Structures are given as C-alpha cells and as structure tokens.
Amino acid sequence: MKSNALPIRYVNSVIAVIALLGAFSTWAAPEPADDALPLVGTGGHGHTYPGATVPFGYVQISPDTRTEGWDACSGYHYADSSIMGFSHTHLSGTGCPDLGDLLIMPVTGSLGDAPLEAKRFTSPFSHENETATPGYYKVSLDKYGVTVELAATAHAAMHRYLFPANEAAQQHLVLDLVHGLASKPIEACLKMEDKNTLTGYCRSGGWANGKTVYFVIESSQPFSGFGLEVDGKPLPSAQAEAKGPNVRGHLDYKGAQVVLRVGLSPVSLEGARKNLAAEIGAKDFDRVRADARAAWNEYLSRVTIESSDRNLRQTFYSTFYHTATAPTLYNDADGTYIGSDRKVHEHPGFNYYSTFSLWDTYRAEHPLMTVVQPGRVNDFVQSMLASYQQSEEHVLPMWPLACCETWCMIGYHSAPVIADAYAKGFRGFDAELAFARR
C-alpha cells in the first residue's frame, strides 16, 4: 500500500554517502547485504535472532535454542549448541520474551510414544554448519542429518528440508503449538485439510496477552501419514482435527526433500491463505530467497559506506540491518488488521504496525526513519493514532505488541515520535487527534 506524499526536502536526504576510499584504491563495493550479519547481537545480552525476515516484516522464521531465562527473549543464543525447532515469530533486542509461534522441527527415526514436546527432539548443531544472511538462514541438524533452509516474505515463510536418503522411511515434521517464548497457550487448532495442506491457529497469553496467529501450511510432498495430540494424548488415527489449549502433531514423509510454504495472519485463516497466495504463490524457494535479499539490499543501500575495510562495513550494516527488524507489520497483505480494540479493521488506507519498543526507539530509531524510510513514517504515526482511538484507555501507545498494549516501562514515548515527524514536515496523519481528550 502507498503512503501519503513525502515532504520534498526529505526526498534528497534518503541516501547519505560516507566516502572513505583512498585516492588510489581500485576496490569495488559489494552489495550491502553481503556485509550485514544477522548473527551479530545473538550473543551476550543482545537478544536478537539470526533467522529469515524482510524489512519490517510480520514473519521472522528463526531457530529456537532456549525458552527460559532473560536471554531467551529472542529464542536464540549464540552460546547454545542445540536447536529445538524453528518458529515463525520473534522479538529483536527486547528485554522481555514473547512470541515463538508455530514451531516446526524436522526429525528422523521413531517418534516414540511420549508427548510430542519440542524438548524431546532437540538436536545439536555447529556454528560451522550455520549460515545467516539477510532474508535467509541455513543450518545442519547433527542428530538427524537434516539440512534446514529458511526464507521469508512479509507475511509468509518457506522451509526447505533435505533429509538423509537412508532415513527415507522415517522422516517426520513435528508441529508444536504449545511452544512459545514465555507465552502460554490459551486455545489452538491443527487441521489436516488434505494430504498436502494443514491449517490452524494458536492463541496465547503472555506479554502480548490474547494475540492469535492463524496459519496455512502447504507441503510440496504429500504426507504419507500424520498424527495429532491434545494435552499430550494422541487422537484416533482417523481424526483430522485437534482443538484445545495444548495441541501438537506430526507429519510423516517419504522422499529426500520437503518444501513448506507457510502463510501467517494476525487476522483470520482466510487472511493467512490470501497472504500466502499474494506473496509466495507458485514461487520456488530460491526465488523467495532472492526477493528477500533484494528487499534487504534496497533497504540497506539507503546509506552507502564506501570503504575497503570490511570490518567497518560489517559493523555498520549489521547495526543498520537491525533497525528494520522492528517495528513490524501487523496487517494482512490487503491492509486488514486487528486493532487494539480486538476488532477487524478493513481498508484503513495505511499499513498498520506494531512491536513499537518506544522507550528504546524514540531517541534515535524513529528520527533515523524520517531520513532513511520517509515512506513509512506517516504509517507509523497513523498506527499509533489508530491505537489511541481504539484502545479502551484511549491513550497513545507505550509499548504495543501485536494487538496488545503491554504498558511496559515509563514515559509516553509515542508523543516525541509524533512531534518529531510533524516538525520535519510529515502531514499524512491527523495531528490534532494526538491532542484530543475523551
């Protein structure tokens, strides 16, 4: 969707050039995505994730290595040596954990009779067999000999699994809707629509209390079998739908390679289906990966670093990369969104964003956006004003996540974001609304 017209004097400020070339250098600049390292920030207390996303995308498909403790905020920590699966939503740089919706884990061998908990299927991995670049993630699972590749669009994800040939009769995908990063399941559903398609949703409590994620999963290979369980108890083999707070399942395969197309929506199951069709459709994995890389190159090239010192370029572009991992879209591809009033809003005329860590970002992130992403600024502000109008408390947002206000931290930091945008000439929103009182 297109935003309102931009202030003319800001159009020429989109690209800043830092010239660091020596007079006799013959060095040729690489693409900026080559110098952005998603693994930066995943150690220490950085709380970032290394998986695949696109700039400001709703979907962040990434490995989870832990779910407990402060350093599990993003689901991944570089010090860990095992992976429990790959979930579709993550936070970046926050001090509170949440999300981690819809975990999928490829495994081989017997599943056993115990509940299909993610921790049962954890696999060791090595950073030497791990690749993370903007929009793409790849890793080898040592326990199962499975190679995993992940790519993303704004509302969808693609998985590509290469199973070892000698395990062709014992290949499975485990789906865990109970899994979450400090969030607790409230209600979930997993349904086998046909031999290539699953649908469902998961509603959870936690920091974003009551948010729902709807999903549609399309498999390149038909399932040779499946199983569902609720509260750790398997359902009859003929039952193709599971509902309850604690839902898990598994899919069985024969064949070396399985590709999944996964569409997500915060609004509805039909929205997830439409998002998948709009953004992936018939595209193969490599095309989705290439499109994601192109989107990152477009974003990162808003600032050009001309230097033969790769350490300098990597430091800058890795940091700049993380400025586009939040806020994130919270509408469907057609613009429909769930507001803070938990109602569906159609055709708003702007893209609705959430995951505003405003007490962190009002100082530098949002002023930077007025220079490098002026086309999103009006939408950011309109999202805040929509939350103001729709929330029961009728206040500007403090720390909105999904359709929820978390009331995290002190201050009223949406106010300086709006004031900064207005002072810089942005007029694609109702400024008087920010002053209104009910």
- Which CATH number does the domain housing residue 339 bear? 1.20.1050.60
231 & 356 share domain? no
In a domain, 201, yes or no: yes
Are 137 and 62 spatial neighbours (Cβ–Cβ below 8 Å)? yes
- Residue 45 falls inside a structural domain: no
**Domain identity same for 24 and 79:** no
**96/17 same-domain check:** no
299 inside domain: no
Q: How far is the C-alpha of 255 from the C-alpha of 411, rounded, in Å?
A: 55
Answer for the pair 386, 342: CB distance below 8 angstroms, yes or no: no
User: Where among 249, 275, 293 does a domain terminate?
Assistant: 293
Rounded Cα gap, residues 140 and 159, in angstroms: 13
The last residue of one of the domains, among 293, 316, 341, is 293
In this structure, the answer to whether residues 107 and 230 fall within a common structural domain is: yes
**How many domains in the chain?**
2
Q: Is residue 118 part of a domain?
A: yes
Same domain, yes or no: 109 and 247 = yes
> Between 414-423 and 365-372, two packed helices, what is the crossing angle to 10 degrees?
30
Residues of the domain holding 185: 62-293
Same domain, 219 and 140: yes
Same domain, residue pair 26 and 122: no
Per-residue model confidence as pLDDT tens for the chain (438 residues) = 444 444 434 333 333 333 333 333 445 668 999 999 999 999 999 999 999 999 999 999 999 999 999 999 999 999 999 999 999 999 999 999 999 999 999 999 999 999 999 999 999 999 999 999 999 999 999 999 999 999 999 999 999 999 998 755 689 999 999 999 988 899 999 999 999 999 999 999 989 999 999 999 999 999 999 999 999 999 998 899 999 999 999 999 998 899 999 999 999 999 999 999 999 999 999 999 999 999 999 999 999 998 999 999 999 999 999 999 999 999 999 999 999 999 999 999 999 999 999 999 999 999 999 999 999 999 999 999 999 999 888 889 999 999 999 999 988 899 999 999 999 999 999 999 988 855
* DSSP class of 301: T
**307 falls within a domain:** no
CA distance 49 to 64: 9
CB-neighbour burial class of residue 143 (10 A; exposed 0-12, middle 13-18, buried 19+): middle
Do 249 and 375 lie in one domain? The reply is no
C-beta neighbour count of 155 within 10 angstroms: 26
Domain of 128, CATH number, reads 2.70.98.10
Contacts from 343-348 at CB under 8 Å and sequence distance 24+?
Answer: 343/390, 344/267, 344/268, 345/386, 345/390, 348/382, 348/386
Residues 69 and 22 in one domain: no
Instruction: Looking at the structure, tell me whether residues 118 and 254 fall in a common domain.
Output: yes
- Residue ending a domain, choose from 270, 293, 316: 293
Residues 285 and 206 in one domain: yes
Identify whether 317 is part of a domain: no
Identify whether 36 is part of a domain.
no
